[in-house]
Amino acid sequence: MPQMILFGYFGAGNFGDEWTLATFLKGIKRLGLKSEQIVALSRNSEATKAEHNIAAIPRSWRAILSIMSKCQIVIGCGGSLLQDVTSFRSLVFYSLLVFAAKFAGKKIALLGQGLGPLKRGASKALARRTLNACDLLTFRERESFRLAKEIGCLLKNCFVTADLTFAWDEFPQRQPTKSIAVNLRPVREHWNCENVAGALKRTLREGEKVLLLPLQPKLDETALQPLTKIPSSKWYRYEIWHDGLVGIANCNLLLAMRLHALIAACILGIPFVGLNYDPKVANILGEVARRQILPLSANESEIASAIEQIRNENLKALAERFEEFASNQKFSAVRNFELLAEKLSL
């Protein structure tokens, strides 16, 4: 009999969301829950079952309401679920899910969340009602907590923790190859991928390769396609989320958009340059790497300069700085599970 429903952006092959789910499952099992007591909503339920060894159901309301009648707890797991930049429809879906759980008398938590961006007045009002329906809210950085307060969220059950993935403790052994790994994703605003290509050509060293690292199939491959013109470029084979960790562990420098690629590099002590396509990147990693996180408007020279600057840093000092930051974040990430056990009586 399932006791807990998990919802998030699962089953789409997104590295960060699948890593988040894996981290949550590992943490919750330490609290005594078994795999058979957990069911996840998924865009590809068969893939989620195979990859995470838990029950999964499609994101249809018939399936959701059926399983909700049998469970006690509903948890939104990681990511920025309440935002209207990707689409207003996703905000409505997750809000209705919370309202349905509230109406059915279930305990509700949103765990390790980012909040926003929320561009519309209607989005802010809907997000406020959704947040206030929850029994526990943990935000992965202070800006999201600040936004929750700004839109009128009651703060009684709100806490600032950290992204769940900082609690992960099974990393592949580093086997650096002579390569710069690059991850790009589609973005709504106009930007010039040629700036990245030009910067890479200017900074590549003799014998160094460009490892094209898609962390969500098809989407990232499309964004990375222009870089295939670089003679030394090659594709990295990504099939399941753990492949992403291995690919990052095997490079000696990372240039990336996706937040969780940069988090992985930070934990592994790998020099990185981030492209800040979403405020969450700077909000989470700005404390440890503000000079290494560039706006999407950065030109070829600025990207090349950031790459050379990080190359020229004392790598031992850099690794120590990353390690201290990651250690503090891990302490806060583990707090997500402590609060879950305390507030929802697990």
Residues 183 and 162 in one domain: no
Domain for residue 173, yes or no? no
Q: Which of 52, 63, 57 is nearest to 29 (CA)?
A: 52
Helix (H) or strand (E) holding 281: helix 279-289
Average confidence (pLDDT) over 65-83 = 94
Instruction: Render pLDDT for 131-187 as a digit per residue (tens, 0 to 9).
Output: 999 999 999 999 999 999 999 999 889 999 999 999 999 999 888 889 999 999 998
Residues 149 and 184 in one domain: no
Residues 268 and 338 in one domain: no
Residues 100 and 240 in one domain: no
Looking at residue 193, which CATH number applies to its domain?
A: 3.40.50.2000
Collect contacts of 201-208 with beta carbons under 8 A, ≥24 apart: 201/230, 202/300, 202/304, 203/304, 203/307, 203/308, 203/311, 204/180, 204/230, 204/232, 205/178, 207/178, 208/178, 208/179, 208/180, 208/232
Domain for residue 174, yes or no? no
* Integer Rg of the chain from CA: 20
* Percent of the chain whose pLDDT exceeds 70: 99
Looking at residue 8, which CATH number applies to its domain?
A: 3.40.50.11720
Q: Any residues with CB less than 8 A from the CB of 86 and at least 6 apart, and which?
A: none
Domain for residue 124, yes or no? yes
Count how many domains the chain has: 2
Domain of residue 143: give its range: 4-168+330-343
Instruction: Render pLDDT for 330-339 as a digit per residue (tens, 0 to 9).
Output: 999 999 999 9
Domain for residue 149, yes or no? yes
Residues 126 and 202 in one domain: no
pTM of the model: 0.96
The CA distance from 321 to 311, in Å, is 15
Q: Which of 22, 10, 2 is nearest to 47 (CA)?
A: 10
2 has pLDDT over 80: no
Residues 335 and 300 in one domain: no
Domain for residue 297, yes or no? yes
* Percent of the chain whose pLDDT exceeds 90: 87
Domain for residue 211, yes or no? yes
What pLDDT, on the 0 to 100 scale, is given for residue 1?
53
Q: Any residues with CB less than 8 A from the CB of 56 and at least 6 apart, and which?
A: 10, 11, 39, 40, 41, 42, 45, 46, 48, 49
Domain for residue 29, yes or no? yes
